[in-house]
Amino acid sequence: MIAGGLPTRVYYVSQGGYDTHANQQGAHERLMSELGGSLAAFFKDLKLQGNFERVLLMTFSEFGRRVAQNASGGTDHGTAAPLFIVGGGTKPGFYGAPPSLTKLDNGDLIHTTDFRNVYATVLEKWLTAPSEKVLGRKFPTLAFV
């Protein structure tokens, strides 16, 4: 669709299977391998098409995971999920401090970067859209774009 020149500005793809409350290690290894392979193939195609600089990809999850493993060898829903921003127009690096694995909030990670700052950055600096209309108020942007 991108190579075909469609004017669509946002595409959404979903990968399920991350809700692992038991036997998590094997499932996550498989899922991360699928994700990594898919992203590598996608960006290889974008580069061959000459579209790499035109695309920004953002991964996200609707929930994080808890730090401690549960009795079933998995983890339960938690907070402070990671996300990735990838694309030819992005500035590489880590944004925000890594969360502590020992200083927790009732067993949950304490986020160090508000996801609304990330969304505001994508909206304002990449999509050139006013973030206040989407997020309800103004949030500081980050320097990854």
Q: Are 89 and 53 in contact (CB under 8 A)?
A: yes
Domain ranges of the chain: 1-89
Is residue 143 scored above 90 in pLDDT? yes
- Please identify which residue in the block is written with the tokens 């991964």: 59
**Which of 130, 95, 100, 91 lies closest to 113, judged by CA?**
95
**pLDDT tens digits, residue range 28-87?**
899 999 999 999 999 999 999 999 999 999 998 877 888 888 888 888 888 888 889 999
pLDDT 10s digits, 5-17: 899 999 999 998 8
